[in-house]
Structure formats: C-alpha cells, structure tokens
Amino acid sequence: MPESTEPPVLLELENVQKDYSSPGETIHAVRGASVCVREGERLALLGPSGSGKTTLLLLIGGLLRADGGSVRYAGRDLAELSKRETLTYRREQLGFVFQGFNLTAGMSARENVAVPLLLRGVAHSQAHERAGVALAEVGLSRRGSRPPERLSGGEQQRVAIARALVGEPSLVLADEATGNLDSHTGEEVLALLGELPRRHGAAVILVTHDTRAAAHADRVLEMSDGHLRESATPATALPSAPTRP
Amino acid sequence: MLLSLDRISKRFERSSGATKLALTDISLELERGQIFGVYGPSGAGKTTLLRIAAGLVSPDGGEVSYDGRRLNELPAGELMRLRRREIASVWAAETPPAGLEVLEHVAMPLLVDDRDHRGAARRAREALAACEAEQCAGMMLNELSDGERQRVAIARAIVIEPRLLLADGPARNLSLIEQEAIMVLLSSLAHDARVAVLVTDSDSETLVGADSVHYLLGGKFVNPAASTHPGKIYQFPGRSRQAAADA
C-alpha cells in the first residue's frame, strides 16, 4: 500500500450545530456543519453577513460551545477540554486576525506583537526579538516603535497578522480581515494571509464575504443560513505539508 | 500643573478632500487629585481630545504639556515610557484580543514593561480589587457583563499606578446604577489615590462627581461660564436621571 501524501487532519467538524435562543425565538446559526481541515491548508469561508460564518469561527476558536456535533482539534474534542486546556489551546495553537485589528492603543507595534509570547512566559527580550522578526515578515521592520494610532489601517492589520503568527500557531483564524480596508490594501492583506501562515506551516481559515479571498485559498467553502457546503469554485490542489520551523 | 492643553486645534482631512475641524481653541488644566469631565454628542471631538492628551495624536495648533514638558517635543521613546508608566487610558472602542483571561489582560501592561509574572499578577489582583472586580480575575473577557468589562478596563489602566488617567466614555452603555458606580470609582481614584482624571461621556449627568464639567460641541467648549456646576449645565431632552429611572 502506498503511503498517503496528504497532510494529517488538523481540525474536524462533524455535524456541528449552534443555536441562539431568546424568548419566543431560536436562531439556528450553524446547522449541521461538517468540514475537515488539514495541516497547512488554506480555506476561504465565504458567505453573507448573518450566515453563521463568525459563529463557526468562534466554535473553532473554543470561544463558543457547540450545541450538537463535535469540533475536534488534533483528534481531541474541544468540548472535553477543561477551561485551562481551552485557554492553552487558544494560546498555543491558534492565531487570530480580526476586522477591527484589536491592537492595544498606546503600546508600540512591537509590544502588541510580543504580547502572546509574554503571556506564555517567554522572556521579555526574547519576546521582543521574535516580535521584531514577525514584523519584518509583514514588511514593517521600520514601524515597530510606532503605536497603532500612527499606522495606517493596512499597517495595523499587518501588525495583527504578525501578532497572530509570532507564537507559531498551527491554525490562523481570520475574521473579515479586510473589512476595514480599501480594496487595494485588502488585496495585499489577503495575499499575506494566503502566504505567510503557509510559510510557517500553519493552516488558515479566511472568513469573509470578500470573494477575492478564494484566489488565496486551496479550498472554498460557502455558508448560507447556517448551512456549510463546499463551493463549486475551482480551488488549487491541496498543499503538501510544509516543514514547521 | 500635571496636564495642560493650551489653545489646541486639530483638523482632519476627509477622503472627499474636505477638512473637518475636530477641535478649535481648546484649553484646559488638570492637576493631580482632580477630575475634569467633558461631555458632548458623538463627533464633538471628545476622543480626539483624549488622544491628543495621551500624545497619540499631535495637534495642528497649540501646546500640550505634561508635568511641564511639551508632549510634541518629547522623543518617541520617552512618550512610550510615559504611556507605559504614567499616562493610562481607557478607550471606548478598544476591543481586547480574544481568548484572554481577565487577570492576564489586566497584568499585560506590566508584562510589556518587563515586570516579573508573579509580581504583575499580584498587582493585577490588587487593581481588580480596587475596582471591585476581583471576582472577575479567573473569567474570560468574553464572559463579562458590560459593567464588569468597564471595571476591568479601568483596573487594567490603573495597574501601572498612573498619575494621569484618560477615560473615554467609561460609563457608556451602562445602566444608571453602573454609571454611578464607575464615577464613584473614578472619584476615589482622583481624591484618594491622587490620580488626575480626564473623563468623557455623552451626557453631563453621568459626570456628576467631577470637579468641573465642560460641554464640547463641534470641537469647541461652549458655555464655559456655567461649567463649574457639574450636572446642571445641560439636560438632554427627555433624558433626566429621574425620567430615565421612571422609565
């Protein structure tokens, strides 16, 4: 039997359901979503506002618990993790990029990028050194001392990408990362998100309504009214698993 | 004088090419132990005013002095040091990174400043306790109520034991009782811990407890003569405290 050349499965969602209930109304945000993400894979998750994309991302990020089905990461069901284990999972395995950048005002770009490492107990000098390397990767080696307020929107999102990658996560979750950017800058950010995580050996899920994201993904999924399905949009072949540095 | 703004002006270029005057001829002075309240509608220039006071934005005209030194003449490194150790801020629109525990979120400014983890955690607990939010220490940020979130934000600001606290709408979107609790907390910081507090809100009534309250409209302070009577300068139509309570 020839050995499989496919990278190992990193994340597996099986029949995931999530409802939001209020008096007299239940919203089925995610209805039986199933998907498998392999190491180093790039997925674009497309769909209109309110289709359930962000809820799905929060479920994968361990920030929400599924009402049904399972979310398994590296073979382990997130529902079985303790609070401490969930925190460790998020801190060590995931990198987040948000529409609003979520950078801390007043702290320099380098300090913002260093935060995930400092929270892990990495020594201050080492954390700052690695933050500098991460900023250089996103083309901001000369902007490290500036606070977010003195950076453009595109530069702030690059800082956020550096922060997401500095801890060498296995999976980067990007939620509408181009939502606050103009068209040209958004394209640059998509290109970075399509390339950099892969270079680090990380998978990436680009959640967006920006259909240009498909060009930077290996597979495209579509979400509509809580239903998840593989898109008919042609996608490039699955990547081979890169070597983690 | 700890903080002095002298005839500050600031304009922003809009994408259309038009210019918006965000602030015009703004002057204020703030000493340690005082609370200076600024209220006004959305777009009045409140956040811009605070960002200028924090040295995050440079004014186009006028001077900002902190402890006798002009902020715009300080080297970038010294400005960062001041923000790390002396000038704290609470921003209304700030969204913290996801998936953080409250204690580490509050301790973060100390960790960034190369303090040891154990000492930073102890100080973070003390700051949370000072804000009556010690019960939140082990919670995740996304588990907090609105009122708790604001208390935690203030705890994170005061963990560095600042001399100046800039609070941008810290009581926004809170119930009247929670608004009052936030202002009591800020009053205590000013009058007991000798912190200079510059606080904004959309409503003058929220700022009761401030030593002086000023109305900012269209980037200008208006009715300055009436501004020494906190809570009695301006009343939004149909929005008196009693009316809101009765509702």
What ipTM was reported for this prediction?
Answer: 0.75
Q: pLDDT tier at B244 (50, 70, 90 boundaries)?
A: very low
In sequence order, what E strands does B116-207 have? 164-168, 196-201
For residue A109, the chain B residue with the least C-alpha distance is: B80
Successive 10-residue mean pLDDT values, chain A, 245 residues: 79 96 88 95 92 93 93 96 91 90 88 93 94 95 89 93 95 91 90 90 92 90 93 50 41
Q: pLDDT tier at B242 (50, 70, 90 boundaries)?
A: low
Q: What percent of chain B has pLDDT over 90?
A: 67
pLDDT at B243 over 70: no
Q: What percent of chain B has pLDDT over 70?
A: 89
A62 is written with which tokens? Answer: 């361990």
Q: Is B63 helix (H, G, I), strand (E, B) or coil?
A: strand
pLDDT at B235 over 60: no
Residues 6+ apart with CB under 8 A from B65: B1, B3, B4, B6, B71
pTM of the model: 0.81
Nearest-CB residue to B98 (from A96, A115, A124): A96
Across the interface, do A119 and B99 touch by the CB < 8 Å criterion? Answer: no
Across the interface, do B83 and A106 touch by the CB < 8 Å criterion? Answer: yes
Nearest-CB residue to B97 (from A102, A106, A149): A102
Sign of dihedral through CA atoms B9, B10, B14, B20?
Answer: negative
Q: How far apart are CA A19 and CA A41, in angstroms?
A: 28
Q: What's the pLDDT score for residue A233? A: 56
A70 is written with which tokens? Answer: 């399972």
> B158 near B190, Cβ under 8 Å?
no
Q: How far apart are CA B76 and CA B89, in angstroms?
A: 18
For residue B83, the chain A residue with the least C-alpha distance is: A106
Q: How many CA atoms are closer than 13 Å to the CA of B80, on its beta-carbon side? A: 19
Q: pLDDT tier at B100 (50, 70, 90 boundaries)?
A: confident
A63 is written with which tokens? Answer: 């920030």
**pLDDT for B23-75, tens place per residue?**
999 999 999 999 999 999 999 999 999 999 999 899 999 999 999 999 989 98
**pLDDT for B148-189, tens place per residue?**
999 999 999 999 999 999 999 999 888 888 899 999 999 999
Q: What's the pLDDT score for residue B193? A: 92
Q: Give the gap in angstroms from C-alpha A237 to the nearest C-alpha of chain B.
A: 32
Across the interface, do B89 and A106 touch by the CB < 8 Å criterion? Answer: yes
Q: Which domains does chain B have, with CATH numbers?
A: 1-86+180-247 (3.40.50.300)
Sign of dihedral through CA atoms A205, A211, A216, A217?
Answer: positive
pLDDT at B233 over 90: no
Nearest-CB residue to A105 (from B84, B94, B142): B94
**Mutation choice for B interface testing from A119, A125, A161 by most B CBs within 10 A:** A119
> A115 near A104, Cβ under 8 Å?
yes
Q: How far apart are CA A170 and CA B129, in angstroms?
A: 37
Across the interface, do A61 and B56 touch by the CB < 8 Å criterion? Answer: no
Across the interface, do B97 and A118 touch by the CB < 8 Å criterion? Answer: no
Q: Residue B36: which region, alpha, beta or left (left: phi > 0; alpha: psi -120 to 50)?
A: beta
Nearest-CB residue to A149 (from B57, B97, B140): B57
Instruction: Compute CA distances A235 → A152, A223, A229, A238, whole Å.
Output: 32, 17, 14, 9
pLDDT at B87 over 50: yes
Q: Give the gap in angstroms from C-alpha A169 to the nearest C-alpha of chain B.
A: 14
Q: Is A105 helix (H, G, I), strand (E, B) or coil?
A: coil
Across the interface, do A94 and B51 touch by the CB < 8 Å criterion? Answer: no
Type and span of the H or E element at A96:
strand A94-98
**Residue B87 exposed, middle or buried by CB count within 10 Å (0-12, 13-18, 19+):** buried
Long-range contacts of the stretch A187-190 (C-beta < 8 A, 24+)? A187/A212, A188/A154, A189/A154, A189/A157, A189/A158, A189/A161, A190/A215, A190/A216
